[in-house]
Chain A
Amino acid sequence: MTNLTPLTEIADEGAPRAEATAPTAPAKAPRRSGARSLLPRWSPRLAIGLGLVGAISLFGLIGPFLVGDPNAISNIGLAGPSGEHLLGTTQTGQDVLAQLAHATRGSLQIGLLVGVLATALSALFGIIGGYVGGFVDELFSLLSNVMLVIPGLPLVIVISGFVPAAQRGWWTIALVLAITGWAASARVLRAQTLSLRNRDYVAAARVAGERPWRVVSVEILPNLLPVLASQFVFAVIAAILSEAGLSFLGLGASNSSTLGTMLYFAQNGFALQREAWWWFAPPGLLIALFGCGLSLINFSIDEIINPRLRTATAAKRSARKTTRSTAA
Chain B
Amino acid sequence: MRYYARKIGFYLVALWAALTLNFLIPRLMPGNPVDILMAKLQQRGGVVDPEARRSYELLLGANTDEPLLSQYFSYLGNMARGDLGVSVSAFPAPVSDVIWQSLPWTIVLVGIATLISFVLGVVLGALVGWRRGTWLDSLVPATTVLSAVPYFWLALILAAIFASALRWFPLLGGYDVSLMPGWNWEFISSAVYYGTLPALTIVISSVGGWLLGMRNMMVSTSSDDYILTAQAKGLREGRIMTRYAARNAVLPSVAGFAISLGFVVSGSIVTEQVFSYPGIGSKLLQAVQNNDYALMQGIFLVITVAVLGANMIVDLLYGVIDPRTRVGN
Contacts and interface: CB of A to CB of B under 8 A. Distances in A.
Contacts of A150: 14, 17-18, 21, 304, 307
B243 to A, nearest CB: 20
A5 interface: yes
Given A163-B30, A272-B156, A245 B151 contact: yes
A48 to B, nearest CB: 8
A157 B288 contact: yes
Interface in B120-163: 132-133, 137, 141, 144-145, 147-154, 156-157, 159-160
Interface residues of A, number: 69
Interface string A274-305: 01010011011001111110111001000000
Interface string A133-169: 0000000001001101111111101111111100100
Interface in B264-323: 264-267, 269-270, 273-274, 284-285, 287-289, 293, 296-297, 299-300, 303-304, 307-308, 311
Contacts of B89: none
A273 B165 CA distance: 9
Contacts of A214: none
B263 to A, nearest CB: 4
Interface in A211-235: none
A153 B266 contact: yes
B269 A3 contact: no
B213 A245 contact: no
A167 B141 contact: no
B4 interface: no
B216 A309 contact: yes
B284 A149 contact: no
B164 interface: yes
B153 A6 contact: no
B156 A149 contact: no
A145 B7 CA distance: 11
Given A2-B263, A148-B259, A309-B219, A167 B30 contact: yes
Interchain residue pairs A-B with the least CB separation, the first 5:
A291-B148, A284-B153, A10-B213, A153-B266, A6-B209
Interface of B: 10-11, 13-14, 17-18, 21-22, 25-26, 29-31, 33, 132-133, 137, 141, 144-145, 147-154, 156-157, 159-160, 164-165, 171, 205-206, 208-210, 212-213, 216-217, 219-220, 223, 251-253, 255-256, 259-260, 262-267, 269-270, 273-274, 284-285, 287-289, 293, 296-297, 299-300, 303-304, 307-308, 311, 328
